[in-house]
Structure 1
Amino acid sequence: MGHAALATATEDMLLPGRRPPWRVLLLCGASGTGKTRVSYPLARHYGVPIVEVDDLVEALQAMTTPEQQPLLHYWRTHPEAARLPPADVADLQIAIAEALVPAVDAVVGNHLETDTPVIIEGDYLLPAFAVRDSFAGVSAGGRVAAVVLHEPDEAQLVANYLDREPGHGEQRHRAQASALYGDRLAAQAAEVGVPTVTARPWDDVLARVTATFTAPQPVSAAH
């Protein structure tokens, strides 16, 4: 389907007040890829709330100590870790995402049990988490959709950070780590059957993301 056709199809599917084809949409992707560019327009069109995983992290940090949850506090207790080699930073991102699974699992399960749609977006969402048969003891029943938004170009990530955080200068090391982490998310997504969408071109990214969950997604084994 061409870009123009995708855009038209998206406009038809995103009629105000229309019930989304999922109850929970997990929007995964590394930092700086443009998840906000997708999640907020979708939320407005469908009239559903957004849960940002960063907010879950803040809440959990307020309720725990570094001794209780060392990974969730790691960036605060080890600020020097930001200068680790990009591969090590990506490893830490994966580890933190895995530590957050019980919290995200509870949120997904609650929305499935109450049958209330929600978009959950954040850096710490793993594609393998999205293909479970159940969440917090509640059957998924085909009601959970997921997509990975990916920007593989380090130079573009540098530009995105400069645009978003102009006072922080050129964050090339951060962009390198983000690109590598994004590659790992995309590889994991391919393994479990979760679609990956490239962030650019931006003018039709919403249509391309929407197309992934309006068609049937592959059924994967429980994790």
Structure 2
Amino acid sequence: MKVFPGSWPMTVVCGASGTGRTRFAYALAAKYNGHVVDTSDVLEAVRAMSDPSRHPELFQEDVERHGTAEELAAARLRAAEVLEPAVRAVMVKQPRLRLDGHYEFPHTVVTGRHALPGLAWDFAVVLTETEEQVHVNLGSQDLRTRTSMLVQEELLRRGAEHRRNHVHCEVVRVPARPWADAVDRAGRDMNELWDSRNALG
């Protein structure tokens, strides 16, 4: 019995700045006829209802202007951790569609600067890029490049940890290059894992 490819309801796409994460996420959503939830939108909503005294991690403009790469990476990851309950609340409230007498979940791709592998239920994709290419993609900014590489390293570490602790969830590492088939490579890996997990019951 073949399971329909992409029939899991949600994929979390993680990646450091300069990896092409957003472009990849929208292309993946299009592949599965789905939509994108961007954690940046969740962040803006939470900021509008909060202030720095309640959630200082979500208001880090000074660190972003004056910090080291290590401080910037740590601040981004702390903000993602603080934002996680709000992102999860959005994830669990994704709409259901009634099609052919059955409820179906349209495919959702969760992504953004604050998407962590630990958000994933079935699949997390960690999009990776070389330091040289991130440097080019970010306009030759050394500090941002170093920050992105630290974040990428931590996302991969957290992805491996999440996979060990949640055997039902797969974490797929996808090199961004060659770009032309990055989405197809990710889709193929996820479909094969999903099929092998479910096809035989």
Name the TM tier (shorter chain): 0.7 to 0.9
Cross-structure match for 1:21: 7
What are the equivalent positions in structure 2 for 1:57-136 lying under 5 Å apart?
57-75=43-61, 78=62, 80-111=63-94, 115-131=105-121
- Provide the alpha-carbon RMSD of the alignment: 2.3
- Tell me the distance in 2 between the aligned counterparts of 1:19 and 1:122: 24
What do the CA deviations read for 1:44-100 (whole angstroms, capped 9, x no partner)? 23322111111111111111111121111122xx2x444322122211121111001
- Tell me the distance in 2 between the aligned counterparts of 1:157 and 1:192: 25
Cα distance change on mapping 1:21 and 1:202 into 2, 3 Å: same
Q: In the alignment, is the contact (CA less than 8 A) between 1:23 and 1:112 conserved in 2? A: no
Aligned length: 179
Cross-structure match for 1:179: 149
What do the CA deviations read for 1:127-175 (whole angstroms, capped 9, x no partner)? 12325xxxxxxxxxxxx32111111x2221121122xxxxxxx311101
Q: Which runs of 5+ in 1 are unaligned?
A: 1-17, 132-143, 163-169
Report the alpha carbon displacement of residue 19 of structure 1 after superposing the two structures with TM: 7.3
- Tell me the distance in 2 between the aligned counterparts of 1:81 and 1:39: 25
Report the alpha carbon displacement of residue 101 of structure 1 after superposing the two structures with TM: 0.7
Report the alpha carbon displacement of residue 208 of structure 1 after superposing the two structures with TM: 1.5
Cα distance change on mapping 1:20 and 1:55 into 2, 3 Å: same
Q: In the alignment, is the contact (CA less than 8 A) between 1:28 and 1:147 conserved in 2? A: yes
- The amino acid across from 1:215 in the alignment is E
- Tell me the distance in 2 between the aligned counterparts of 1:112 and 1:147: 22
Among the aligned pairs, what percent are the same residue?
33
- Tell me the distance in 2 between the aligned counterparts of 1:94 and 1:28: 12
Query: Please, what TM-score do these two structures have when normalized by structure 2?
Result: 0.79
Higher RCO structure, 1 or 2 (CA under 8 Å, sep 6+):
2
- The amino acid across from 1:185 in the alignment is L
Query: Please, what TM-score do these two structures have when normalized by structure 1?
Result: 0.72
1:160 to 2:137 alignment: yes
What do the CA deviations read for 1:97-144 (whole angstroms, capped 9, x no partner)? 10011011111211287733211111211112325xxxxxxxxxxxx3
Cross-structure match for 1:208: 185
- Tell me the distance in 2 between the aligned counterparts of 1:127 and 1:185: 7
Cross-structure match for 1:145: 123
